[in-house]
Chain A
Amino acid sequence: MLHARVVDITKEQIELIKAEKFIASSKCGASIYFVGTVRDLNNNKKVMAMTYDSHDALVIKSFEEIYQSSIKKFNFDNSVVFIEHIKGKIKLGEISILIAVACKHRDQAYELSRFFIEEIKKKTPVWKKEHYEDGDSEWLEGNQIQKN
C-alpha cells in the first residue's frame, strides 16, 4: 500500500502524524521514519532556507514506479509506504521529505526505507535552490535523471 504526494508549502506542511496513521497496521511489527530537513551549512556557505522545485506529475509517477520496483525486488508481505515531498521555500530544520515504511520485520523496514531514499535521489525530478546568509541563492548541481 502506497501513499505518495507532493506537498505545496504555501498550503500545508508535511506532518508525521499523517504518516503514522497511514502506516499503522497490526500486520507490521516494525516502522521506520526517514525525515529529510534543511541543513544550515553546505560547501562552507551558511544556508538560511531552501526552495524545492518539482515536476509534480513525474514525481508521483516516480514514487509509484519505485514502489513497484520495491515489490519486485523485495517481495515483502504487507509492507506499507508513505512518501511526501515538499515543494516551495522552506526554512532551516523544516521537513523536505518524509518516507515512512512499515513491514513485518525490522530488517525489512530498514532495507525498504533506504531503498526508497536512494532511488528518489536517482529518479525523482525535484530540484533544490539554496538561499544563503548574504542574500545570494544557487541551484544545486544534481544528477542526470535515470529512467526505470
Chain B
Amino acid sequence: MKLELYGASRDFSKESFIIFNLKEKSTIKELRVAIIKFIETNFKDNESYKKIVNSSAFCSDKDEIVSDNYKISNNERVAIIPPIGGG
C-alpha cells in the first residue's frame, strides 16, 4: 500500500509517499506499527518522529478519516494526517 505523507511526516522520506508491503486487509493499527518500525530502522529510533506517528490520524482513499480498526485494501492509498495547525 502507499502511505501519502503530509505535514511533519514529510520528513520521513524524500518522496511524498512510502510504500509498505502489508498483508492483505491489514488495519490502520498494523500500519502504525509498520511506520514505527520504518522509523526505528531508518531514523535511529527518532522519538519525535514516533510521537508524530502515534498522534496522527489516517485518511482513506475515499477522503475519510478512518479508525485504527479500518482494514486497508490492496493497493489502497492512505494518507497520514499529523496534528494540524492551519489558518
- Contact residues of A with B, CB < 8 Å? 36, 52-55, 57-59, 61, 85, 96-97, 117, 120-128, 139-145, 147
Contacts and interface: CB of A to CB of B under 8 A. Distances in A.
Interface string B75-87: 0000101111111
**Which of B10, B57, B87 has the most CB atoms of chain A within a 10 A radius of its CB?**
B87
Contact of B87 (A55, A97, A147): A97
B54 to A, nearest CB: 10
A28 to B, nearest CB: 24
Nearest to A128: B85
Chain B CB count within 10 A is highest, among A57, A120, A142, A143, for A142
Contact of B86 (A52, A61, A139, A141): A52
A63 B59 CA distance: 16
Interface in B24-50: none
B18 interface: no
Nearest to B84: A142
B65 A126 contact: no
A139 B83 CA distance: 10
Contacts of B55: 144
Contacts of B8: 127, 139
19 contacts: A55-B6, A58-B59, A58-B81, A85-B86, A85-B87, A121-B84, A125-B6, A125-B7, A127-B7, A127-B8, A127-B82, A127-B85, A127-B86, A128-B85, A128-B86, A141-B83, A144-B56, A145-B65, A145-B84
Q: How large is the interface on B (under 10, 10 to 19, 20 to 34, 35 or more residues)?
A: 10 to 19
A-B pairs with lowest CB-CB distance, top 9 = A126-B86, A127-B7, A142-B85, A142-B83, A139-B8, A142-B84, A57-B63, A145-B57, A124-B86
A63 to B, nearest CB: 11
B11 A124 contact: no
Nearest to B62: A57
Contacts of B87: 36, 85, 96-97, 117, 120-121, 124, 126
A139 B84 contact: no
A58 B86 contact: no
B85 to A, nearest CB: 3
